Amino acid sequence: MKIGLPTVQRVLGFVFVVMLLLTFLPSVAAEPTQQGTSIIYYVRYGDTLFSIAMRYGTTVPAIMQANGLTSEQIYAGQRLIIPLTPITPGATFTPLPTPSNFDCTYTVQYRDTVYSIAYRYGVSPAILMQANYMYTPYLRVGQTLRVPCLAQTPTPFPTHIVTEGQNLFRIAIEYETSIYAIAWTNGIWNPHLIFAGQNLVIPYPGSKKWPPIPTITPRGPTNTPGPTGTATTPVNTPTRTATRAPTTPGATPTRTATPTPGPSPTATVVIIMQNFRFVPETVTIPRGGTVMWQNIDSVNHSVRSGSPGAPGAAFNSGPIPPGGKFYYTFTTPGTFPFYSDIDQQPMTGTVIVQ
């Protein structure tokens, strides 16, 4: 049976008329129905709770409460109860008065943040944002801000050029600030990724006190280097010297640390044990250099050559109590991994001897 072109056109026309009627059907049914102190309203395409509330002289919270809505999302054809008498709202937020003495202006410079400007002018970031009617802490270069009038214009933050081998942790210690503050002010998303020659703005210098890094002064001659190195510890501390433990014939000799008073060598590099980490994790020293590990955590740690599951025999500090130190002199070039064998979570590091 063949279907002619006029028949197809009639069918398509009928489908179009039906779809058109279905499209306008919600609009016809959306006329509000009066029911005492409220009306029934069917949502039309393009409606929002705000537009409906403005149309009928009520509020969005009143409509949401009358219909048990938990969000402002509505859809075409939805049946809503519109209260003609707005429901008494709850407690309203009373804005704080605009801070006084903000009669001077400041032009935002490159790398400025709300936090750095507020710190320089001695106010909180929230007060600075309130005085400038800011809803977000984002700034743009050249923007004019109202700031307190000071007798002397505060000096900008110092800058620091990153050198080879530096990280944010050591820079923060040097300027007595925090890693987060440096990363935030300079837009550094990953605090572990900085490069030599990078120019950093140092915010809030002197605002954070870090544990002091001890200064190592020689008290006598160092021990004579052995075939692979010697481990010594300073006097008047929990002292350790790596000594060979008795071994059976054919067994691989190992070294264990035993308390022995003796002179402290001059440390080439200091590695801190803090927050269950070696800081820094990787160091490079010349041949014959000495590494000092210092435990500033509140629990015992250790330093042993090798890696978890594959301990080495070069050195083994044994338990290092809080405040304790361990020294080791490397006399052979190479890469020497080390770890703490008494901690459940891995603490690892590497010494590269050139």
On the question of pLDDT at 15 being above 60, the answer is yes
Q: Are 118 and 124 in contact (CB under 8 A)?
A: yes
pLDDT of residue 27: 44
Q: What percent of the chain has pLDDT over 90?
A: 6
On the question of pLDDT at 56 being above 70, the answer is yes
pLDDT of residue 171: 92
Sequence-distant (≥ 6) Cβ neighbours of residue 6 within 8 angstroms: none
Decide which of 79 and 309 is more confident: 79
On the question of pLDDT at 91 being above 80, the answer is no
Reported as a pLDDT band with limits 50, 70 and 90, residue 206 is: confident
CA distances from 264 to 241, 270, 314 (A): 11, 13, 19
On the question of pLDDT at 240 being above 50, the answer is no
Report, as an integer, the average pLDDT of 16-28. 61
On the question of pLDDT at 245 being above 60, the answer is no
Report, as an integer, the average pLDDT of 244-266. 49
Which range among 32-36, 203-207, 225-229, 321-325 shows the weakest confidence by mean pLDDT?
225-229
Can you list the domains of the chain with their CATH numbers? 24-83 (3.10.350.10), 104-147 (3.10.350.10), 159-201 (3.10.350.10), 229-244+254-353 (2.60.40.420)
Sequence-distant (≥ 6) Cβ neighbours of residue 43 within 8 angstroms: 26, 30, 52, 74, 75, 76, 77, 78, 79, 80
Asked if residue 280 has a cis previous peptide bond (ω within 30° of 0), the answer is yes
Q: Are 148 and 158 in contact (CB under 8 A)?
A: no
DSSP for 201-247?
E--STTS-PPPPPPPP---SPPPPP-SSEE----TTSS--EEEEPP-
Token digits of residue 114: 């709300």
Q: 122 exposed, middle or buried (CB, 10 Å; 0-12, 13-18, 19+)?
A: exposed
Report, as an integer, the average pLDDT of 229-250. 47
Sequence-distant (≥ 6) Cβ neighbours of residue 191 within 8 angstroms: 168, 179, 180, 182, 183
CB atoms within 10 A of CB 272: 20
Report, as an integer, the average pLDDT of 313-330. 87
- What is the overall mean pLDDT for the chain? 76
Strand partners, 325: 294
Q: 337 exposed, middle or buried (CB, 10 Å; 0-12, 13-18, 19+)?
A: middle
Tens digit of each residue's pLDDT (9 = 90 or more) over 325-338: 888 998 889 899 99
SS3 191: coil
pTM of the model as a whole? 0.31
Rounded CA gap, 88 and 65, in Å?
11
Reported as a pLDDT band with limits 50, 70 and 90, residue 34 is: low
Reported as a pLDDT band with limits 50, 70 and 90, residue 321 is: confident
On the question of pLDDT at 273 being above 80, the answer is yes
Tens digit of each residue's pLDDT (9 = 90 or more) over 284-298: 888 888 888 888 887
